[in-house]
Each structure stands twice: as C-alpha cells, then as structure tokens.
Amino acid sequence: MTETDTGAATASATERYLEFWNAEPSKARRLAPEVFTDGVEYRSPAALMQGAEALIDFRTQFVSHVGEASFVARREPEGHNSRVRLLWEIRLADGTSFATGTDVLSLTEDGRIGSVSAFLDRAPEGFGDHEHA
C-alpha cells in the first residue's frame, strides 16, 4: 500500500465510521456491512460490545438518554499499519460538547473496521472514575 493509498484508506474508513455513528438505526444497519467486519469488537470505558447490532443499540440508548447528538472528528485522522487514530467529540443538539475521546480503529485488508479501542479524553459530567477504569 502506498502513502496515498494509506491516506485514502484512512479517510474512507473514518468517513464511513462517522457516518455510521451519526445514522438513524435503519441507515446504520445498511451501512454496517461496508464499515465493519461481521464480528467487530468495540472496547470502551462504557462498554465492551461485539457486532454492529450492539453498536446500533448502544447509540439508540445514548440518544434516548441525552437526545440527538453528533459524533465528529476533532482533527484529521492519522493512520499507519492498518490502524487509524481518530480524535472525536460528541456534540449535543444544542452544540454543547458532551465528551471528547480517541478511537483506534483496526482495519482489515478490505478497508473495513475489525476492532475499535475507544478512550475518553474528557469524560461526560457525572461519569465516575470507576466507570473509566
């Protein structure tokens, strides 16, 4: 893979990932096979999940608690050796910043995401230390 290919793969994977997290459940289900491998693993301080349906359920629960929100990149993603580092922010519908973090995406040969390791850079208010272990 050339530098250009790597940059294109990083950008494409990140764009699809952000689109997935910002999609309504029905659209997220349509996007999931293009974005993730079948058994995608997601590890975060809030949850350990496997499979795209678990991620869709997680987002649905989140929205039911805090209302609509946007998952956005804080800067251009960085990638190397089939890994992408994405610095993100969750913004509530009123523009308030809910949390910031960093996701490390592991890409497969076909450019889909096989695993995600998520870290909170700034946890939401009230998110206890015991939950961020």
Which residue's entry shows tokens 């975060």? 44
Contacts of 62 (CB under 8 A, 6+ apart): 69
Per the structure, the complete domain to which residue 103 belongs is given by 3-132
Report the predicted TM-score, pTM, of the whole model to 2 decimal places. Answer: 0.89
In total, how many domains does the chain have? 1
Mutual angle of helices 52-66 and 3-22, in 10-degree steps: 50
The pLDDT value given to residue 128:
66
How would you write the pLDDT of the chain (133 residues) with one tens digit per residue? 444 456 888 899 999 999 999 999 999 999 999 999 999 999 999 899 999 999 999 999 999 999 999 999 999 999 999 999 999 999 999 999 999 999 999 999 999 999 999 999 999 987 765 454 4
Q: Whole-angstrom Cα distance, residue 17 to residue 31?
A: 9
Strand pairing report for 36-43 and 48-50: antiparallel
CATH number of the domain to which 45 belongs: 3.10.450.50
Q: Whole-angstrom Cα distance, residue 43 to residue 116?
A: 6
